[in-house]
Each structure stands twice: as structure tokens, then as C-alpha cells.
């Protein structure tokens, strides 16, 4: 399983109720269900991925986070997970608000556009960056609203959202992000993982 998923799984206690928004083929859901007895649901837009989840015995709803999160009552999940998808929505702010309404806490991960390889690519090659976490070309990327760890950090603060944990991930290295090391982490992490609450 991806290192990112391991970090997310470590943030969630056993026996909780969790919604994985954009759960893809259900890899993380299956892990949480099997290893932490998590009561887990998924929301996924792709019919093919939904079928894969069903074949793994996972409870998944075909739907679009921008429209379909509203059917869940306030704070109906202990955690809501959004992995590397926030930047792909037309209105990320609305989705973030919905995650925090539906979940007592939310775990949001961000592919970091401030990562040095991304900056390096744009600076020296002069073309849109392609990295491990940003694998697509500019013309076929699903990403509409790229941001950096620093952008997200400031955005969340400006919305009075509480940050319980913010972690920087670079391959296998996990470290904590805070106000004082934000600049450095924004340069050396390719992924940011945030545990937040409103």
C-alpha cells in the first residue's frame, strides 16, 4: 500500500466510522476495514472503480463529491478522507466545507506544487511540471486548482479551521509541519497530509 495511505491509516483509531471521498479502487478502504475494524463507506465518481470496490466487498456509492456530499447529515462520520483530489474540483472551497460538515474530522492530502522538483521543472525546462504525484500532461490532467502546502496551510488558517496534525511526506520520510518550518517543508515535501476540524 502507498506510504500515504499508511500515514492516513495511522491517524485513525480503531472502530471508527469513516467516509473515503474519491475512494478509487478501495485500497485504503479495504486496509482500514480489515486492519482497524473501521466502518467505512466510499464515494466514487468512476463506474469502473465502483465495480472494483464492490468486488472487494466494500460499501461504495457512485457519486460526485461536489453534488453528493450534501445527502450526509452533519458530523455523521468520525473521519472523512480526501486523498489528493481537492485540486481536481471546480470548487475546492465548497468541497472542503462539506468535508468538515459531514465529518467530525477530515483528513486531506495535497500534492505539493511547491515541491522543489516541481519548481525546478518549471524553472529550467519551462514546461508544466510532471512528477510522481503530478503524473499527467497539462492537457489531460484532472487538476484544476493546484496549490502548495503553504497555500493550503494559509487557506485553512484563514477559514478558522483547526489543524490537529500537518505532516509533510517525501517518499518514506514523514515529518511535522509547523509555522516555523513551513517554508522548508513546502520545498522538500511532495505531499502534505492535514488532519483538520471545524
Contact footprint for other proteins (CB under 8 A): 17, 41, 47, 50-51, 54-63, 71-73, 76
In the complex, what is the shortest distance from the CB of residue 42 to other proteins, in angstroms, rounded to a whole number? 9
Q: Which is nearer to other proteins, 68 or 151 (CB)?
A: 68
In the complex, what is the shortest distance from the CB of residue 13 to other proteins, in angstroms, rounded to a whole number? 19
Q: Which is nearer to other proteins, 27 or 59 (CB)?
A: 59
DSSP 136: S
Q: Which is nearer to other proteins, 51 or 143 (CB)?
A: 51
Q: Which is nearer to other proteins, 71 or 181 (CB)?
A: 71
Query: How far apart are the two ends of the chain, measured CA to CA in Å?
Result: 29
Q: Which is nearer to other proteins, 37 or 173 (CB)?
A: 37
Q: How far apart are CA 9 and CA 119, in angstroms?
A: 30
Say if residues 18 and 107 touch (Cβ distance below 8 Å).
no
In the complex, what is the shortest distance from the CB of residue 37 to other proteins, in angstroms, rounded to a whole number? 13
Q: How far apart are CA 78 and CA 86, in angstroms?
A: 19
Q: Which is nearer to other proteins, 58 or 108 (CB)?
A: 58
Q: How far apart are CA 125 and CA 174, in angstroms?
A: 29
Distance (Å) of CA 158 to CA 151, 162, 163: 10, 10, 12
In the complex, what is the shortest distance from the CB of residue 114 to other proteins, in angstroms, rounded to a whole number? 37
Residue keyed to cell 480526501: 82
Say if residues 76 and 102 touch (Cβ distance below 8 Å).
yes
In the complex, what is the shortest distance from the CB of residue 51 to other proteins, in angstroms, rounded to a whole number? 6
Cβ atoms within 10 Å, residue 45: 19
Cβ atoms within 10 Å, residue 137: 9
In the complex, what is the shortest distance from the CB of residue 59 to other proteins, in angstroms, rounded to a whole number? 5
Amino acid at each position: 500500500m502507498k506510504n500515504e495511505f499508511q500515514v492516513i491509516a495511522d491517524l485513525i483509531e480503531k472502530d471508527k466510522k469513516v467516509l473515503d471521498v474519491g475512494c478509487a479502487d478501495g485500497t485504503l478502504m479495504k486496509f482500514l476495514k480489515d486492519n482497524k475494524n473501521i466502518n467505512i463507506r466510499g464515494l466514487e465518481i468512476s463506474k469502473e472503480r465502483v465495480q472494483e470496490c464492490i468486488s472487494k466487498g466494500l460499501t461504495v456509492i457512485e457519486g460526485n463529491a461536489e453534488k453528493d456530499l450534501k445527502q450526509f447529515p452533519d458530523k455523521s462520520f468520525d473521519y472523512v478522507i480526501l486523498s489528493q483530489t481537492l485540486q481536481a474540483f471546480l470548487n475546492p472551497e465548497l468541497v472542503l466545507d462539506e468535508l468538515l460538515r459531514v465529518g467530525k474530522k477530515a483528513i486531506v492530502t495535497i500534492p505539493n506544487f511547491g515541491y522543489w522538483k516541481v519548481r525546478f521543472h518549471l524553472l529550467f525546462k519551462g514546461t508544466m511540471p510532471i512528477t510522481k504525484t503530478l503524473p499527467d500532461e497539462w492537457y489531460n490532467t484532472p487538476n484544476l486548482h493546484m496549490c502548495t502546502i503553504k497555500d493550503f496551510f494559509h487557506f485553512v488558517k484563514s477559514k478558522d479551521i483547526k489543524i490537529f496534525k500537518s505532516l509533510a511526506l517525501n517518499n518514506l520520510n514523514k515529518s511535522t509541519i509547523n509555522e516555523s518550518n513551513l517554508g522548508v517543508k513546502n520545498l522538500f515535501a511532495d505531499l502534505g497530509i492535514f488532519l483538520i476540524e471545524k
